[in-house]
C-alpha cells in the first residue's frame, strides 16, 4: 500500500512540476518548508544547551520576537506584492538564513531578539510569499495538492526535529545541535539559489496594491479565518498539552506522550495527500463540518482521559491524537487554497498575510495558555471545545452563504464540471459573501 501511495504521489508531483523551472520552484518550496520545520523545535534547546542562555531568559525573548513579527504583516504583504512571489521567497530565505547564522553568535542575551526577529519575519514573509509563488507558477487549481504536500513535508520535518532534540538531550550533544543549525542555514541557501533565473510568471502588476484592511473587511474570507483559528486551538494538544498533562497530571510515563507525538506525525505524513485527494469533491462546508466534528470528538476524548486507566486510557489518547490529526489533514490544505480563491487575482499577498496567522498564533500563544490552563484541566478542555464549536459555527457550517462552485474549483476542492447554464459567471467570479 505504501509503495502504491508513493507511486501515486510521485506521479502527481511529476504532473504538477512538469518542466525544469517548475521542479526547481517546487524544490525550493519544500526545502524551505523542511528547513524551517526541522529547526523550529530546536531553537530554544540550542540557545540553552550550546549558547548557555537560560530558558527563562531565552524563552520570553523568542516569544516577544514572534509576537512582534505579526505586527509587521502589513509590511510583509506590501513587500510580497511589490516583489512578486519568487523574489519575496528569495528575500524570506535570505532573512531566515541570516537570522539562523546570528544564532551561532548569540552567546549574549542581547543578540537573541535580533536573531529571532529576523527568523520570524522571514517565516511571516515565507508564509505569505510561497502561496503567491505557487499560484503564479502552478495556477490556483493545484493549490490544495501543493498545500497538502507542503504540510506533509513540514510535519515530517517537525517530527525529525523533535527526534533530534530528544537524541541531543539524551546524549547532551552540542555538536549534533550545531550540525543541525548549519544544515538549516544551508537549506535556506539551497532554496534561494533554486529560484535564481526562474521566470516570474507574475499577474499584471497593480499600481495600488490592496492593503490588509481589504482582506479584514472580506466577510466570507474572515469567516474562513475564524473557523481555522478556532480549529487550530485543538491541533496543538498532542504536541503541547499531552507531555505535561499525561505525565504531571495523570502520572503516565513520559514515553506515552512521545509515542502519541510519533502517531500524530506519522498519520499526517502518510495520510495528508491521499485524504486531500479523497476530499476533492467536498464543498467547503463539508470540509469544515468534518474537520470541526473530528476536532470536537478529539477534545471530548481528551476530556475523558482522567476517568479510565491502563490500556483504555492509552486507546483513548491514541484515538484523540488521530482525530485531531485528521481534522488538520482535511482542513488545513483546503482552507489555505480557499483563502487564495477569495483574493482578487494578483492580490493574494494581503489575504495570505492574514491567513497564515490562523495556526501560527495558536502555536505561538498555545504553550502559555495550556501551561496556565492545566491547573484546571476540565476548564481548559471545555474552553477549547467551546472555541472549536463556536468558531466553526461562525465560520459557516450553518447558513446559506458558501463560496461559488467556480471558486471551489479554483481552490482545488471540486473537480471541473460543466456549467449549470450558459449564463455561468466568468473567471472573474469571486467567492460569494
The secondary structure of 61-77 as a DSSP string is: HHHHHHHHHHHTHHHHH
pLDDT tens digits, 401-414: 434 333 444 444 33
* pLDDT value of position 315: 94
Mean pLDDT along residues 89-100: 91
Instruction: Return the C-alpha cell found at 47.
Output: 540557545
Number of other CB atoms surrounding residue 81 within 10 Å: 25
Q: If pLDDT is split at 50, 70 and 90, which confidence band does 397 have? A: low
3-state secondary structure of 388: helix
pLDDT of residue 35: 62
CA atoms of 25 and 192, how far apart (whole Å):
10
In sign, the C-alpha dihedral spanning 294, 300, 302, 305 is negative
Contacts of 405 (CB under 8 A, 6+ apart): 414, 417
pLDDT(323) > 90: yes
Predicted local distance difference test score (pLDDT) of residue 20: 72
Q: Name the maximum alpha-carbon separation found in the chain.
A: 69
In the structure, what pLDDT confidence band is assigned to residue 393 with cuts at 50, 70 and 90?
confident
C-alpha cell recorded at residue 344: 482578487
Of 354, 71, 74, the residue nearest 209 (C-alpha): 74
Q: Find the distance separating the first CA and the last CA of the chain, reported in whole Å.
A: 42
Provide the pLDDT for residue 41. 60
Residues 6+ apart with CB under 8 A from 211: 74, 77, 78, 350
C-alpha cell at 20: 525544469
What was the pLDDT predicted at 46? Answer: 82
pLDDT at 62 exceeding the cut of 60: yes
Split at pLDDT 50, 70, 90, the class of 12 is: low
- pLDDT, one tens digit per residue, over 168-221 is 555 656 777 787 788 888 888 888 898 888 877 665 545 555 677 888 888 888
pLDDT at 60 over 60: yes
197 Ramachandran zone, left/alpha/beta (phi>0; psi -120 to 50):
left
Highest mean pLDDT among 194-203, 351-360, 420-429: 351-360
Q: What is the per-residue pLDDT for 412?
A: 40
Please give the C-alpha separations between residue 48 and each of 112, 114, 181, in angstroms, as whole numbers: 11, 17, 14
Looking at residue 410, its pLDDT comes to 41
pLDDT above 50 (res 418)? no
Taking CB atoms within 8 Å and a gap of at least 24, the contacts of 427-430 are 428/345, 429/404, 430/342, 430/344, 430/404
- 6-20, 63-77, 223-237, 245-259: segment of lowest average pLDDT: 6-20
Amino acid at each position: 500500500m505504501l509503495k502504491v501511495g508513493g507511486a501515486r504521489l510521485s506521479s502527481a508531483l511529476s504532473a504538477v512540476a512538469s518542466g525544469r523551472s517548475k521542479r526547481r520552484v517546487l524544490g525550493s518550496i519544500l526545502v524551505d518548508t523542511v528547513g524551517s520545520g526541522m529547526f523550529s523545535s530546536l531553537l530554544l534547546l540550542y540557545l540553552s544547551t550550546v549558547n548557555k542562555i537560560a530558558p527563562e531568559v531565552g524563552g520570553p525573548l523568542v516569544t516577544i520576537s514572534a509576537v512582534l513579527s505579526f505586527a509587521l504583516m502589513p509590511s510583509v504583504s506590501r513587500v510580497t506584492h511589490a516583489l512578486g512571489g519568487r523574489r519575496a521567497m528569495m528575500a524570506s530565505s535570505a532573512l531566515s538564513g541570516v537570522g539562523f547564522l546570528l544564532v551561532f553568535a548569540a552567546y549574549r542575551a542581547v543578540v537573541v531578539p535580533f536573531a529571532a526577529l529576523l527568523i520570524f519575519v522571514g517565516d511571516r514573509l515565507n508564509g505569505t510569499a510561497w502561496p503567491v509563488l505557487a499560484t503564479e507558477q502552478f495556477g490556483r487549481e493545484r493549490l490544495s495538492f501543493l498545500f497538502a504536500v507542503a504540510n506533509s513535508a513540514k510535519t515530517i520535518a517537525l517530527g525529525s526535529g523533535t527526534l533530534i532534540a530528544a537524541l541531543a538531550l539524551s546524549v547532551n550533544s552540542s555538536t549534533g545541535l550545531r550540525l543541525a543549525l548549519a544544515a538549516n542555514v544551508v537549506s535556506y541557501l539551497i532554496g534561494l539559489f533554486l529560484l535564481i533565473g526562474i521566470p516570474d510568471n507574475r499577474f499584471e502588476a497593480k499600481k495600488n496594491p490592496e492593503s490588509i484592511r481589504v482582506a479584514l473587511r472580506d466577510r466570507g474570507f474572515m469567516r474562513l479565518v475564524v473557523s481555522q483559528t478556532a480549529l487550530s486551538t485543538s491541533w496543538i494538544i498532542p504536541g503541547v498539552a499531552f507531555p505535561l498533562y499525561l505525565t504531571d497530571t495523570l502520572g503516565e510515563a513520559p514515553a506515552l506522550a512521545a509515542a502519541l507525538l510519533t502517531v500524530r506525525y506519522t498519520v499526517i505524513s502518510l495520510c495528508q495527500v491521499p485524504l486531500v485527494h479523497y476530499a476533492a469533491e467536498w464543498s467547503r462546508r463539508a470540509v469544515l463540518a468534518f474537520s470541526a466534528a473530528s476536532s470536537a470528538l478529539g477534545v471530548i476524548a481528551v476530556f475523558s482521559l482522567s476517568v479510565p486507566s491502563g490500556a483504555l486510557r492509552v486507546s483513548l489518547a491514541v484515538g484523540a491524537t488521530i482525530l485531531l490529526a485528521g481534522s488538520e489533514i482535511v482542513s488545513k490544505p483546503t482552507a489555505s487554497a480557499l483563502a487564495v480563491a477569495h483574493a482578487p487575482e494578483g492580490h493574494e499577498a494581503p489575504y495570505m498575510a492574514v491567513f497564515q496567522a490562523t495556526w501560527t498564533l495558536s502555536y505561538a500563544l498555545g504553550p502559555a495558555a495550556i501551561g496556565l490552563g492545566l491547573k484546571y484541566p476540565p476548564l481548559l478542555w471545555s474552553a477549547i471545545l467551546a472555541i472549536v464549536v463556536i468558531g466553526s459555527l461562525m465560520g459557516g457550517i450553518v447558513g446559506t452563504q458558501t463560496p461559488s462552485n467556480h471558486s471551489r474549483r479554483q481552490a482545488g476542492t471540486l473537480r471541473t464540471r460543466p456549467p449549470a447554464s450558459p449564463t455561468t459567471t466568468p473567471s472573474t467570479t469571486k467567492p460569494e459573501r
